[in-house]
Amino acid sequence: MEKCYNLALAIFLWLVSFACFAQTDTAQQVIPNRLNGTDQLTKPYVILISVDGFRYDYMEKYEARHLQQLASKGVEADALLPSFPSVTFPNHYSIVTGMYPAHHGLIGNTIYDPAKKSRYNMSNAKAVKDPSWYGGIPIWTLAEQQHLLSASFYWPGSEAPIAGLLPSYYYPYNEKIPIAQRIHAVVEWLSLPEEKRPHIINFYFPEVDHAGHRYGPDAPETAQAVHFVDSAVYALSLAVQKTGLPVNFVFVSDHGMTTINQDEPINLSPLLDTTKVDVAFNGTIVDVHVRDKKEIKAIYNVLKAGEEHYRAYLKKKVPSKYHYGKKDDRFKRIGDIVLIANAPYYFSIKRPNPGAHGYYVYDTPDMKATFLAWGPGFKEGAHIPAFENIHIYPLLAKMLGLHYEHHAIDGKMKVLEGVLKN
Ligand code: AMP
Ligand code: ZN
Ligand code: ZN
């Protein structure tokens, strides 16, 4: 009888925990008791939109009419230059911290930290919520520190209490919530009483990156994903317009996309003795952490001798332009040996997808991303040259009237201040 009772209890608890999981998975998280400072109420509003993998030329190539029209009323850059490596987490986090990946610590979608002896992976829910992986002060944290509320409908880092603070309103990452519901949530945020209303809102789209990987940058499916985003951003801008608030839009992407050689993946298995190294793979870049430091040279020699379609560097010899060597390695997460693929080749043990990114933008121009901005704070019809994504942070801070330690970041205000109305 007791056994039966225990079993029933166990099933009940399992069902409750499942229901809680299902609930929290898509439910908005609200931090209680947050209010805008009274001196902050007149600040403008900024919606920071990221469309993952929206290459610099997609707007024209796929005739994204709404975006073209919105950009024509604001600012358009020739391109936004991603930081190296041009993958999602490092670049989203560079955009919101103004720092190169090796300076903010989120150096890959996958990271091995030898001091912690642990791994970060973007699909590991526990790791993404652990603030110890994230350096710098993201723009939403800076805002919250200065009593200006923030909200996030997804952004790498937004689920971790960085410097002890989460965004006032946020959703845990989940690709299932329909776009209409997501737009509605933004309108609801902007319809809150002014003391509770967020001034900086992040909004993220995964669809274009997904299609680019699966079908390649030139595929009709990628064109379709661009058109989906084009319509969704237009719908968002119309819905927001109805609130009558002075809302500015900053539209960015984290990197581009290139067609890769699927037939000849770079298979490192024969060259890497996994009993001697810990490895973090990011597709176009591999960090090799050698357990016994006395063996670095010997292992490097093997990888150097095997160089085909990639380059092998000792950490101290990685060219400084990558900002990915010993001098830049503030969190000691870069491998003792760094392997960098030459486009269109890709590190993989199986046949890779047709589209990929991660390469250095000056070597592979297909990595160039997009920057557009419009709204009451921006000049109209401004066309600006390509610039690095670390310079967006000072722009956002200036628009929101937030103070930050200028010397602590890599981005410079002078790069973008000309796009703002005086
Ligand atoms: P990448 O391979 O660098 O293109 O990574 C893109 C992937 O990152 C997308 O497929 C998304 O599903 C995933 N992603 C983006 N933002 C988040 C997030 N905030 N949390 C978890 N996964 C994310
Ligand atoms: Zn991405
Ligand atoms: Zn991607």
Cβ(209) – ligand 1 distance below 6 Å: yes
Q: DSSP letter at 391?
A: G
Write the class of the CATH domain 11-259+361-419.
alpha beta
Say which CATH topology domain 261-355 has: Gyrase A; domain 2 (3.30.1360)
200 DSSP β-pair partners: 46, 150
Please, which residues bridge with residue 373 across strands?
A: 75, 250
Q: Determine which helix (DSSP H) or strand (DSSP E) holds 247, and give its type and residue range.
A: strand 247-252
Q: For the chain, what is the mean pLDDT? A: 95
| The pLDDT of residue 26 | 85
> H or E stretch including 95?
helix 88-97
How many angstroms does the Cα of residue 269 sit away from the middle of ligand 2?
A: 26
Q: Decide: 62 in ligand 1 pocket, CB within 6 A.
A: no
**pLDDT tens-digit profile of 205-251?**
999 999 999 999 999 999 999 999 999 999 999 999 999 999 999 99
CA of 88 to the centre of ligand 3 (A): 6
Q: What is the pLDDT of residue 65?
A: 98
Q: What is the pLDDT of residue 18?
A: 39
* pLDDT per position as a tens digit, 339-389: 999 999 999 999 999 999 999 999 999 999 999 999 999 999 999 999 999
The pLDDT of residue 422 is 79
Q: Is the model more confident about 139 or about 1? A: 139
Q: Residues near 216 by Cβ (< 8 Å), separated by ≥ 6?
A: 222, 257, 259, 354, 355
Lowest-confidence region among 1-15, 47-61, 228-242, 398-412: 1-15
Contact by Cβ (8 Å): 104, 94: yes
What whole-number distance in Å separates Cα of residue 212 and Cα of residue 91? 17
Q: What is the pLDDT of residue 236?
A: 98
Confidence bin at 19 (pLDDT 50/70/90): very low
User: For residue 260, how far is its CA from the centre of ligand 3 (angstroms)?
Assistant: 13
CA atoms within 13 A on the CB side of 126: 2
How high is the pLDDT of residue 17?
A: 39
Indicate the SS3 state at residue 256.
Answer: coil
* Interval between CA 207 and ligand 1 midpoint (Å): 10
pLDDT band at 396; cut points 50, 70, 90: very high
Cα–Cα dist 409/274, whole Å = 36
Distance CA 201, CA 199 (A): 7
Q: Using the mean position of ligand 3's atoms as its centre, give its distance from the Cα of residue 66 in Å.
A: 24
For residue 109, how far is its CA from the centre of ligand 2 (angstroms)?
A: 9
Check if 11-259+361-419 and 261-355 are the same fold. no
Ligand nearest to the CA of 54: 2
Q: What is the per-residue pLDDT for 24?
A: 52
CB of 203 shorter than 6 A to ligand 1? no
Q: For the chain, give every domain's residue range.
A: 11-259+361-419, 261-355
The response to whether residue 281 sits with its C-beta less than 6 Å from ligand 1 reads no
Q: Give the whole-number percent of the chain exceeding pLDDT 90.
A: 94
Q: What is the pLDDT of residues 63-91, one digit of tens each?
A: 999 999 999 999 999 999 999 999 999 99
Q: Is the minimum distance from the CB of 156 to ligand 1 under 6 angstroms? A: yes
Sign of the torsion angle spanned by Cα atoms 227, 228, 230, 234: positive
Ligand 1 atom closest to residue 173's alpha carbon, by position in its atom list: 20
Burial class (CB in 10 A: 0-12, 13-18, 19+), 178: exposed
Of all protein residues, the one whose alpha carbon is nearest to atom 9 of ligand 1 is 206
**Which residues lie near ion ligand 2 (Cβ < 5 Å)?**
52-53, 88, 209, 254
Closest ligand to the CA of 212: 3
Answer yes or no: is pLDDT of 150 > 70.
yes
pTM, whole model, 2 decimals?
0.94
Q: Which ligand approaches the C-alpha of residue 257 most closely?
A: 3
Q: Does an H or E element contain 140, and which?
A: helix 139-145
Q: How many CB atoms lie within 10 A of CB 175?
A: 10
